[in-house]
Amino acid sequence: MYAVIKHGGKQYKVHVGDILELDRIEGVEPKSTIEISDVLLVKGDDTKIGTPTVDGAKVVLEVINHARGKKVIIFKKRRRKDSKKKRGFRRDLTRVRVKEIVA
């Protein structure tokens, strides 16, 4: 059984036991559970497709920890203009484990 959920403008295909790295979810502590009700599709014995979400479906997640992603270097250079800019970016993440898919 799997589901497709929407969080932070992105879609994720999740199975029970999967570990996901979502955008930072503020106000939750590690070892706590959260519920995502933006479920777009549930595939089990039969398929339920939402319009836009499946009624009554939810995915229960357990928060593992908060972390930061890999550094991404942004380097802009304008040729022959003696102009360059170097900048770094690290995404704030929340690592979660899928505990249950409720259809």
Q: What pTM, to 2 d.p., does this model score?
A: 0.84
Spatial separation of the C-alpha atoms in residues 62 and 69, rounded to whole Å: 19
Q: Which two tokens stand for residue 99?
A: 């505990």
Query: Per residue of the chain (103 residues), what is the pLDDT tens digit?
Result: 999 999 999 999 999 999 999 999 999 999 999 999 999 999 999 999 999 999 999 999 999 999 999 999 999 999 999 999 999 999 999 999 999 999 8
Interval 24-48: pLDDT, tens? 999 999 999 999 999 999 999 999 9
Q: Which residue, among 9, 8, 11, 18, has the nearest Cα to 61 in the 3D structure?
A: 18
